[in-house]
Amino acid sequence: MMLVFALFFLLPLLFVTIVSAWDYNEYEMIPAFSLRGYTDTFEGCIVELPNLCTILKTYLKTLELCLLTWVLTLLIGFTVAYFLAFHVRSKTWQIVLTLLCTIPFWTSNVIRMIAWIPLLGRNGLVNRGLEAAGLIKQPLEWLLFSEFSVVLALVHLFTFFMVVPIFNSMIRIDKRLIEAAYDAGATGWQTLVNIIIPLAKPGIVIGSIFVITIVMGDFVTVGVMGGQQIASAGKIIEARLNALQFPAPRPMRSSCSASRS
């Protein structure tokens, strides 16, 4: 076990750290000690204080997106899992409904982008509908290519990662505990807070790890739904790799893989 951990986690992490201290030019990495990857990445971070430099601002933005997505997926995921575990009685229906939750995974990112434009776009269904209902006079621009649309797409995609582990924990809860709580006079809320949530905690933790690690590293959804105008840590890494600056993203990448562990 220890060997596997060392071979597949510690060793790669060590390589990443070593390469991060290499020099580089347009077409190759130079195995000479240089902290350029770090100084370039965190350029201006000290000089510009108290204003935040690009990289810190980007991380803050990424964390903000992450937090919003986590809260929403948790609320929605928990509710869906609760419904599946306690309100749907038949096993068959539980399976059918869980499978239905996988629908967002049937589409590719490009399809999703094309699909959102007619819905959220300037001339999209939502804007047309609101205008027809007389609620707005000008189309709402923030519906698409904004933080709103990024979080919406992330929640749409990743709620499932919350649903499955939480559902898995919930169906293992002994139903007699709930009956006992009911018999002892607990209200629905008390049962939820004192019995179901504590027992569903492992599922909540696993689901949270899935969602947070995926969102922290995401650059495709942020790019597509943010109209390439919103930066995330993953996007900066992508842009620098595309410019063949291989060592430069390493400082960021090691912090990402550390957050993934």
Partner 1 sequence: MTKSSKLNRGISRRAVLKGAAGAAGLAAGSGAITGFPYVQAADPKVLRYLGTAVNEGDEISKKCLADTGIKIEYITATTDDVTKRVITQPNSFDVLDTEYFSLKKLVPSGNIFALDAKKIKEFDNITPVFTKGQLPNGKKIGDQGTAPWKVLYLEGANSKTFSKTPTEFVTLIPTVYNADTLGIRPDLIKRPISSWTELLNPEFKGKASILNIPSIGIMDAAMVVEATGQHTYADKGNMTKAEIDLTMKIMTEAKKAGQFRAFWKDFNESGNLMASGETVIQSMWSPAVTKVRSMGIPCVFQPLKEGYRSWASGFCVSKAVSGAKLDWAYEFVNWYLSGWAGAYLNRQGYYSAVLSTAKANMTADEWGYWMEGKAAVSDIKAPDGTVLEKAGAKRDGGSYDDRMGAVACWNAVMDENDYMVRKWNEFIAA
**Hey, what's the torsion of the CAs at 61, 67, 70, 72, to 10 degrees?**
-100
Neighbours of 14 (CB within 10 A): 12
Which of 68/122 has CB closer to partner 1?
A: 122
Task: For residue 22, list its beta bridge partners.
Answer: 33
Specify the residue, 101 or 122, whose C-beta has the smaller distance to partner 1: 122
Question: 146 or 169: whose CB is closer to partner 1?
Answer: 146
Helix/strand/coil for 81: helix
Q: Residue 79: how many CA atoms within 13 Å on its side-chain side?
A: 6
- From 53, 38, 17, select the one nearest 240 (Cα to Cα): 38
Across the chain, which distance is largest between two alpha carbons, in Å?
72
Nearer to partner 1, 43 or 64 (CB): 43
Report the 10 Å Cβ neighbour count for 70: 20
- Give whichever of 26 and 183 is closer to partner 1, judged by the CB atom: 26
Record the tokens describing residue 59, joined without a space.
Answer: 């991380």
Nearer to partner 1, 39 or 190 (CB): 39
Least distance to partner 1 from the beta carbon of 234, Å? Answer: 12
CA distance 77 to 72: 8
Shortest separation between residue 227's beta carbon and partner 1, angstroms: 3
Residues interacting with partner 1, by CB under 8 A? 26-28, 40, 43, 54, 57-58, 61, 108, 110, 113-114, 117-118, 121-123, 141, 144-145, 223-224, 226-229, 231, 235-236, 239-245
CB 193, min distance to partner 1, A: 41
Q: How far is the CB of 242 from partner 1 (least distance, A)?
A: 4
In the complex, the smallest distance separating the C-beta of residue 231 from partner 1, rounded to whole angstroms, is 3
CB 37, CB 248: distance < 8 Å: yes
- Name the minimum Å distance from CB 25 to partner 1: 8
